[in-house]
């Protein structure tokens, strides 16, 4: 099973730039071109939050138009820049979401790997949180199919990356989430967005990866007093490839046109 994983497109109304500087809409269109050129084609597409930048109806109209070009089933989780009502309406024809409250989901009908989405957003805040109710929901969802290969998708990552100015807005309660996940050996990967960079680490007895944004990258500044900044680095997506007997392999796929193919050497 092939699962393409994009994140943080921060789409804007037509003609407006992300942060007034970057054409995030055009960059997402290029990401979809890359997605549609993959051979073999993915079975499923994930977007790990921040579909849009300000949560407006015009932005979600842009998102719906862009998503129409995605041929595969599409699953998404909201990010801190998403507006709940707009997100629900945008994704209504793609997936079943609760009509109120956190937009958790468990989707098992798209192939061998089950996708569990965990909505850790906090209304009005940029950080995420794992509270008692979230842990209860997740424990029940994982217990439903404890032997099935599973990917857990969330927006804010539940760890400190070392980039202090973005770590202020991570998902709080990471220790309790890690303890819960350690009880389930079938969780092949935890996948996140939010941080606009590719990062991987061991977490809760499994592997956690963050997907880069299809637009800007948060600056890799590891000094504790570093000034917040972003760069227009080459964007990328992740491709998760699951095979029986081997498990899940995650590939980093740059988005764009590059020289090649060249002779193998």
Contact (CB, 8 A) for 216 and 22: yes
How far apart are alpha carbons 220 and 208 in whole angstroms? 18
In a domain, 259, yes or no: no
pLDDT value of residue 99: 87
Whether the bond between 261 and the residue before it is cis, its omega within 30 degrees of 0, is: yes
Task: Take residue 36 and report the two structure tokens written for it.
Answer: 């549609």
Burial class (CB in 10 A: 0-12, 13-18, 19+), 194: buried
Could you tell me the CATH number of the domain that includes residue 39?
3.60.21.10
Q: Which domain holds residue 120?
A: 2-254
pLDDT value of residue 29: 98
In a domain, 261, yes or no: no
Tell me the mean pLDDT per 10 residues along the chain, length 265: 98 97 98 97 98 98 98 98 97 92 95 97 97 97 97 98 97 98 97 98 98 98 96 97 96 95 89
In a domain, 101, yes or no: yes
In a domain, 46, yes or no: yes
Q: How many domains does the chain have?
A: 1
In a domain, 168, yes or no: yes
In a domain, 260, yes or no: no
In a domain, 263, yes or no: no
């Amino acid at each position: 099973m092939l699962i393409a994983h994009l994140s943080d497109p921060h789409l804007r109304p037509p003609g407006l730039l992300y942060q007034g500087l970057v054409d995030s809409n055009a960059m997402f269109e290029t990401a979809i071109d890359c997605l549609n050129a993959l051979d073999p084609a993915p079975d499923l597409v994930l977007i790990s939050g921040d579909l849009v930048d300000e949560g407006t109806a015009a932005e979600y109209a842009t998102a719906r138009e862009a998503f129409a070009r995605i041929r595969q089933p599409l699953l998404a989780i909201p990010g801190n820049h998403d507006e709940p009502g707009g997100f629900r309406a945008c994704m209504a024809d793609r997936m079943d979401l609760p009509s109120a409250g956190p937009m958790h989901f468990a989707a098992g009908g798209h192939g061998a790997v089950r996708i569990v989405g965990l909505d850790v957003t906090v209304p009005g805040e940029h950080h995420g949180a794992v509270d008692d109710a979230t842990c209860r929901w997740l424990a029940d969802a994982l217990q439903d199919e404890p032997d099935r290969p599973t990917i857990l998708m969330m927006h804010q990552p539940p760890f400190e990356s070392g980039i202090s100015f973005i770590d202020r807005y991570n998902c709080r309660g990471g220790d309790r989430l890690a303890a819960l996940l350690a009880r389930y050996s079938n969780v092949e990967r935890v996948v996140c967005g939010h941080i606009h960079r590719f990062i991987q680490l061991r977490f809760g007895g499994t592997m956690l990866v963050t997907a880069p944004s299809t637009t800007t990258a948060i600056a890799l500044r590891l000094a504790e007093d570093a000034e917040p900044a972003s760069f227009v680095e080459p964007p990328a997506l992740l491709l998760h490839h699951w095979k029986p007997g081997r498990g899940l392999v995650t590939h980093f796929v740059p988005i764009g046109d590059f020289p090649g193919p060249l002779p193998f050497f």
